[in-house]
Amino acid sequence: MTPDGPRILHVSTTDKLGGVSEVVRSELPYLVESGWQPRWVTANDLDEAHEAAFVLHNALYGVPVGDFPQDRVRSGVERFLGANAEAVVAAARDADVVVLHDPMVLNLASAIRPVTPRIAWRCHVGSEHLDMIDQDAVSFLRPQLDVVDHLLFPHRGLIWPGWEDDERILVVPPGIDPRSWKNRDLPEETYAALWSDVHAARGTAGPADIGGEDTHIVLDDHGTGGLRAPESPFVLQVSRWDPLKGQLGVVRAFADLARQEPDVELVLVGPHIDDRENYPVNRKVWGELMRAREELAGPVRERVHVWRFGPLRRTGEDLALNVLRRYARTVVQNSVRESFGLTVAEAMWRGAVVVGSDVDGISEQMEHDVNGLLTPYTDGGGPWAETVRRSLTDEAGRLRWSKAARATVEERFLSRAGTLRQTAAFTGAFLGAGR
């Protein structure tokens, strides 16, 4: 450790989009405030390793992938290491602790082991359906798992069978940063000014007191239109284009809701798709959504809007999400798997009424009829439509759920608490015998 405080290095495959990036970005200022010297590097040269990364991701989520393609995954990992290991090892030489995020980056553990005193692996994927976790994937990663000093899981229900008593395990829920533009309270006049464009899926400049190109909001409705009016009630889901996020089921189930609630509209919003950086499945999911929308009856189809942000302008995107959650009548998250679900915590912090699928990290955050409503994942049927309808019409419940939602996040899911918990463990390791 240096006299200026311990140095911590975070390594992820991207610093742009996704839950990992959100978690690391939100924790960095709290690391500084806690006396640490943080640095963040990306091992983002995936090249032909996208397939290996996707297979490991799904296997640890418990999504059936058939027989684990060990040879193809090993080949992808080797390409990944060849493209990234040298730069990450060089960065790790100056770190007291290296935190590797998610399964693909874990494969760097052996390479950096000789140059750094402490390595942590933070798992951001998983499911409480532990019997479905692909043990061949765990076995494939075992040599890397054996050389790290700490194993961080979002909550205890995601720890793999047989690993519960491993002394290296820390339970560290992700958190949100209430000071970010996505999560902070804005003046009412700012909300109103931005909403006049965002509701119509029009791009707009950010508030004048922020300024800069990064504050510009870039939205494209891709022919699905904006809301019919600024005051139109709408159901919102914010997700990346991933089959685990369940947007296709939301589109199909909305048809039932639309027949009962003729004024309600649906907005699905997600990130820009860049085929050089995104998994191929992202564009596939997008295409399936657009086709499902086209199959709806005309009057319903006109109330379903599928919006994508343009190339990343982080502040602008965060402002847009803040505003969308502010005006949404209900925020839904129809995930089939969700290790945590930052979009749920973000919406709850904004005081939104949330309907989440009763699964994994969502049910870890939400208690049914206390701080929101839980319902089974829908692929188009089931009680989803009726549950969302209740969220729209139960005025007494809406006030109660909204107030309790924000209180839950304040108590349990802010970034500062998670940052302090894990860094205390790292510091304790330095003060102990060490490795």
| Phi, psi (rounded to 5 degrees) for 378 | -115, 140
The model's pLDDT over 329-350, given as tens digits with 9 standing for 90+, comes to: 999 999 999 988 999 999 999 9
Query: Can you give the pLDDT at residue 383?
Result: 98
Q: Which amino acid, one-letter code, is at 171? A: V
Nearest to 308, CA basis, from 215, 239, 234: 239
Question: Alpha-carbon distance 46 to 299, whole Å?
Answer: 43
Angle CA 199–203–208, to nearest 5: 100
Q: Which domains does the chain have, with CATH numbers?
A: 7-175+414-431 (3.40.50.2000), 188-412 (3.40.50.2000)
Q: Which amino acid, one-letter code, is at 344? A: V
Statement: residue 79 has pLDDT above 70 = yes
Please state the rounded mean pLDDT for residues 353-370: 96
Burial class (CB in 10 A: 0-12, 13-18, 19+), 294: exposed
Query: Can you give the pLDDT at residue 428?
Result: 65
Which residues lie across from 153 on neighbouring strands?
171
The model's pLDDT over 192-247, given as tens digits with 9 standing for 90+, comes to: 999 999 999 998 888 877 877 889 999 999 999 999 999 999 999 999 999 999 99
Q: 423 falls in which pLDDT band (50, 70, 90)?
A: confident
Q: 434 falls in which pLDDT band (50, 70, 90)?
A: very low
CB of 11 closer than 8 Å to CB of 116: no
Question: Alpha-carbon distance 396 to 288, whole Å?
Answer: 37
Say whether 203 sits in a helix, a strand or coil: coil
Q: 1 falls in which pLDDT band (50, 70, 90)?
A: low
Q: How many other C-beta atoms can be found within 10 angstroms of the C-beta atom of residue 348? A: 30
Statement: residue 131 has pLDDT above 60 = yes
Query: Can you give the pLDDT at residue 274?
Result: 80
Please report where in the chains the tokens 């870890």 appear, as a residue: 364
Which residues lie across from 118 on neighbouring strands?
97
Please state the rounded mean pLDDT for residues 143-158: 94
CB of 357 closer than 8 Å to CB of 239: no
Statement: residue 149 has pLDDT above 50 = yes
Statement: residue 180 has pLDDT above 80 = yes
The model's pLDDT over 303-313, given as tens digits with 9 standing for 90+, comes to: 999 999 999 89
Question: Alpha-carbon distance 202 to 200, whole Å?
Answer: 5
Question: What is the CA 45 to chain-centroid distance, rounded?
Answer: 21
Question: Alpha-carbon distance 236 to 339, whole Å?
Answer: 21
Angle CA 254–383–407, to nearest 5: 90
Q: Which two tokens stand for residue 418?
A: 């998670």
Query: Can you give the pLDDT at residue 431?
Result: 44
The model's pLDDT over 3-44, given as tens digits with 9 standing for 90+, comes to: 678 999 999 998 887 889 889 999 999 999 989 999 999 998
Query: Can you give the pLDDT at residue 203?
Result: 85
Mean pLDDT score across all residues of the chain: 92
Overall size of the chain counted in residues: 435
The secondary structure of residue 213, as a DSSP letter, is: G
Residues ≥6 apart with Cβ < 8 Å to 209:
none
Question: Alpha-carbon distance 413 to 357, whole Å?
Answer: 19
Query: Can you give the pLDDT at residue 2?
Result: 63
Conformation bin of residue 434: beta by default, left when phi > 0, alpha when psi is -120 to 50: left
| Phi, psi (rounded to 5 degrees) for 234 | -145, 150
